[in-house]
Each structure stands twice: as structure tokens, then as C-alpha cells.
Amino acid sequence: MAIQNSIVRRYLILSVLASVLPVLLIGVLYDRFTGAALEQLLGEKVTTHLTATANRLGAYLEARRYQVETLANYPGMAGLVRPGKQAESDELKALLQIESDLPDLYGILFFDADGLLQRVIPGQAASGPPYWADHPFATSRLPIAQLGETHVIGPQPAVNGDSGWLLVRHPLRAGNAEQVVGYIALHVRLASLTEQLGLNPAAGALQPILQTPAGSFNAVGLAVSGGGRQIPGPDILPGWRPLLEVEAAGVLKSFAAERRVLLIAVLTGAALVALVFYRLSRYLRRRIGTLVEGAEAIAAGELGHRIADRGDDEIATVAHAFDAMSSRLAEVLEQAVRMEKLAVLGTFATGIAHEIRNPLAAIKTSVQALARREQDDKRVQLLAGMEREIDRLAGVVSDLVDFGRPRPPAPAEIAVRDALQRIAGLVAPEAAGKGLPVACDADPALTLYADPDHLQQIVLNLALNAVQATPAGGSVRLAAAADGSNTVVEVRDTGCGIPPELLERVSEPFFTTKTKGVGLGLSISRQLCELNGGTMQIESTPDGEHRGTVVRVALPRHRKPHADHPDH
């Protein structure tokens, strides 16, 4: 069987596809799931986070605006930026010192109406310009955002080792005049503002950023340049808004690791499935090959061939069916050959018997006539011997006729015990001559359904064979018993037995181990048994303490339904 045309090959391919495709489909669905998870991650939760971040940033700036506005309205605060030297009062000095020492501030700055720095109040966190550095402190190039009357200037990124900052500036007015005489500004730490961005909502995946007109800053106040996808939040000032920058590598980092594991699992699973099904297909192909070899052997006439498959699955069932078929086929062929042989022998025997019977009758008549006229005793004895041989030949001819053209059975219900006792009486003289007892054992109520003459001929042949095969001192027993729907008649002897190699041939026509006879007795008995719907079984033990032969004839106990119908 070519593998390309083998059903095993198709079974292997379909099985592998059926097992691998779902695993690959799971991998594809997992990829889609990661994409959907990312979209969900960037959806409602991100929007909520951005809104909350904007609220925190706005609240922080509003608190600084309220703080600087309160300071600007404090009495005497505007005088700190007037031309000329003016010392602040102790109360004002203490207030400014307290306010400047807040952790969110570097200090408090005062500017004149033209925006020039006039005075600084350093806080505890003060460092760099305009406090301790030599280079100038300039705000002219920084963007300004309006928050009511308050200005948010900056932010200024961290440069040259100086920290980043922004100014929350409010105008100062003298008395109730509308004229602006200067400005007070809170020098705010940029990191204090960016800290309001909060923690990363998806660690390693989304980066919170504060976008301003002066650039973008991360949560620790360092300037960043956005390179990925950015999700904007609501504005807190013109040009000021929180952002979430999507880092694709960060978002998919955990997914990528799991995807690699899944891919390895898919490939490993596919390889294992392919290996398992390949081994199964080879195993299946080998077992199917055994069935094919068995079928070819049976087709070649090797009816004794048996398929060695000890499994209990469907293939083993087919193998057992093959074995049963070959056994039954051997029996059917054997029976067909035997029936054909019997038919040929029957035709031949009938023709021979027809040709011999009439001449034998004429010869016997002539011998009898000569014997009546003969005076010489020796010749009379010779003629008597010739007559006996003629009678023997006539018996052989009768056997040939019975074998070649058996009479169709006329079945009737027979009392088995009476039939066996009658047959025992017929063989009793010959048995008595050898000193053999003939016993009968059967239930008086036991019956069978067969042709009475056929039954007598069957059992009589078997009983005579038993008597002839049993030496003096032995025994012959006729028995019968019910066995399901049959009655089994048994003829048992304690004779010499039949060798195993001859047991299958003893019922063949013209086969005999006797010095006298033509070997038709058992053949006729089997033939008549089968004509009456029965079977005959022979068992023999040629050696040992219990040697002897048992012949069992099984015939129906009762008349079968529709037995007289032509089709039956």
C-alpha cells in the first residue's frame, strides 16, 4: 500500500491539523486580546486618571495663586518695591520669612513695574540664582500664562546644575490706586508641581507628563521629549495640560513575554501532537498491514493462517472476525469438497453396484444349483464358501447403494431407550462371542425426532464398530441424554482407540483400518446423521488407562417449526 494513497496518511494529516489549528487559533486570539487589552487600558481608566491629574495640578496652582494674592494684599507689601531704600517691618519680615520657608518654594521675589528684580527673600530650599549665583536671573524669555490677575511665568527647565522652577506672580498696588507699582512672585520648585502628576497608572506602560509652553516635564521635573503616542488631558492653563505618553514596549512587555511563552507552548504542543499522531499512524498502519497480509494469505488459500492481534479495540475485532471467517471458510470448503467427493463417489458407487448386483445374483443361483447336485463333500464345502463370499459382496453392494443414493428421511418421534435396547439386541450375538457386555443407559421418557430406520442404521454401524474394536474383557455402552434442543446418543467402547492422525479421516468414504470391510460404515452414519439435521463427533484415546473411542450423535429432540414446508 503506497503511503500517498493510504488512509493512514490522511488520518495523520487531518489529526495533526485538527489538533494544531486550534492551538494556533488560540495564539492569534491571544494577540488580539493583548491589543484589546491595550485599547481598554488606554480608554476610560486613562481618561479618569488624566482628569484627576489635571484637578490636582489646578488645585496646586490655585493654592499658590491664593498664597501670592494674600501676600500681595498684605499692608505694606507694595512699599518693598518702591524706589529708594525702605526696610520692612519686623512683622512683615517675619511673614515673608515664614512664607518663603515653605517646602514648595525656593523663596519670594519682588519686581518693579518694569519687571526688574528688586528684592529676594530666600527660603530654606533656596539655591542657585537669584540667591547664591553670579549669573543674572532673567524671566523675559519665559512664557506667561494668565490665572486671573496672577501670572504663571515659566517654567524654567533645570540647566547647568540648577533646579527647574516657575514663578507665580501677582501685581502690587499702592493703597487703593489702580496703578501697578511692582510684583510679588513665589519662586516655586518645578518638581513640587510635577509631583502632582502622581504615580504611573500602568507601571512601565504609560508615562505621565506635564505639557507647558516651555516644554514637557516628567513627574520629577526633568524635561522630556515625547516620542510615543500621547494621550492629552484637560487644560489647567492656556498651553498647560497633563499627558500620558504610551510606551508601546512597556505596555506590551509583559504581554510579549507571555506571548513568547505561548508561542513556545504552541510550537511544542504542535510538535508533540504531530509526533504522537505520527507514532499512532505508524502503529495503525502496521496493524492494518497485518490485516492485509492475513486477507492476502486467506485469498491465496492458506485457510489455516491466523492474525496475531491480541488487542481489544476495533482492529482486533476485525482481526478476530478474519480468523473466524477463515476457520468457517475452511469448514465450508472442507464440507463442500467432502460433499462433492461424496456425490462423485455416490454416482460411481451406484453405477458399480448396478453393474455388480445382477451378475452376483446369477452367480449365487448357479452356485446354489451346483451345490445341490454335487456329491463330493469337499466340493460342497468349496461351493458353500463361494456362496458366503457372494453374500459378502452383496452386502458391500448394498452399502454402496445406500451410500450413493440414501433414502430421504421420514422423521418421526422415537423413544430413544427402546431404540437403543433393540440395537443392543442386534449386536448382542457378536458381542457375546467376544465376551463383551453391551449396556444401555437412557431415560425412558427421552425422545428424539428423526427417521427410525436411519437412527437404527447409524447406531448399529457405530455399535458394530465398537464391538469389533474392543478386545475380550472390555465393554460397550450405549447411552443417551438431553442437551438443550438436542438429544445426544453416545456409543462408548474400551477398544484400541484411533490414533490422532487418523481421527479426521475415519469418516471418509472407503477409508478403513480393518482387514475386512470397505470403509463405508462411518461415512454412511455421518451422511444419515446430517440428513436428519444432526451432527456426529468422534473422540478417541489410543493409549493410557482410559483408552477407547466415544462417538456422539446429536439429533433434534422435537420437530422443528415448518419442517415439512418445501423451502425447508
DSSP conformation letters of 80-112: GGSSS--PPPHHHHHHHHHHHTSTTEEEEEEEE
Same domain, 182 and 57: yes
> Do residues 383 and 375 make contact, with C-beta atoms less than 8 angstroms apart?
no
Give how far the C-alpha of residue 42 lies from the chain's centroid of Cα atoms, to the nearest Å: 43
So what's the pLDDT on residue 247? 65
So what's the pLDDT on residue 217? 92
Same domain, 156 and 229: yes
Same domain, 24 and 46: no
Most confident of 174-183, 410-419, 517-526: 410-419
Taking the whole predicted model, whether its pTM rises above 0.75 is answered as no
What are the Cα distances from residue 95, in Å, to 88, 145, 167, 182, 514?
11, 27, 19, 19, 149
Lowest-pLDDT choice from 13-17, 58-62, 412-416, 489-493 = 13-17
Left (φ > 0), alpha (ψ -120 to 50) or beta: where does 517 sit? left
Question: Could you tell me if residue 566 is inside a domain?
Answer: no
Which amino acid type is present at position 174? A
Same domain, 243 and 99: yes
Residue 506 in grid coordinates: 475415519
Question: Could you tell me if residue 564 is inside a domain?
Answer: no
Give the DSSP letter of residue 162: B
Same domain, 334 and 418: no
Q: How far apart are CA 483 and CA 11, in angstroms?
A: 50
What is the average pLDDT across 199-216? 75
* Domain total in the chain: 4
Q: How far apart are CA 339 and CA 345, in angstroms?
A: 10
Last residue of a domain, one of 401, 427, 462: 401
The average confidence (pLDDT) of the chain is 79
Q: How far apart are CA 232 and CA 226, in angstroms?
A: 12
Q: Show the domain range for 289.
A: 3-39+253-298
Same domain, 187 and 262: no
So what's the pLDDT on residue 375? 79
What are the Cα distances from residue 320, in Å, to 281, 285, 311, 314, 332?
21, 18, 10, 10, 18
What is the average pLDDT across 200-222? 79
Under the banding of pLDDT at 50, 70 and 90, the label for residue 396 is low
% pLDDT > 90, the chain? 21
Q: Does position 281 have pLDDT exceeding 80, yes or no?
A: no
Which amino acid type is present at position 218? N
Same domain, 283 and 243: no
Same domain, 371 and 233: no
